[in-house]
Structure 1
Amino acid sequence: MSDVRHVLVLPDRDAADEVAVELMARFGVTEQPRPVRDALAGEDDAEDAQWLVPVEDPDRRLDAAELDRFAAEWEGWREDP
């Protein structure tokens, strides 16, 4: 079985933190994801950073379309693997 990882991209740290907690409640993710800062190329200002929330899905039980809608609630999106 190959591992699957979804990556949700959020506009700021607060949104990423909220998404990480809500993933557990809404989708039953068993391990809280850890948000990671992703500075845009050439940008030094923390305000220009995006936040990534990687979600492990080894059993392939998370629906990509549902995750798309979920991330959009926080003005984010899901990156295609």
Structure 2
Amino acid sequence: MSRNYETPAVAAEWFQTRETDEAVAMAIHAIADTARSADAIWEAPTAAEWDHVLMALNEYCACGDIEPGTYCWGQETVEVAGK
């Protein structure tokens, strides 16, 4: 399977202090760039950023990096469906 999203390593302190699952943190960091930092995306994602994080999570699931389920993004949750 061709991948569209990287799987960057994220410091445990980053996702733990934000009460965010590691997979979500990884997806956020994968789409972050100089225009929008991971912190900015985590705090106030645009609709497009939210969609990209979901697409990254679904790709991670399809590639076997994560399991289907519910993942925390601060006080929000995101659902990842099975393959």
TM score, norm. by length of structure 2: 0.29
Q: Which one scores higher on RCO, CA 8 angstroms, separation ≥ 6?
A: 1
Task: Give the number of the structure whose residues are more often strand, by fraction.
Answer: 1
Relative to its length, the structure with more helix (as a share) is: 2
Larger radius of gyration: 1
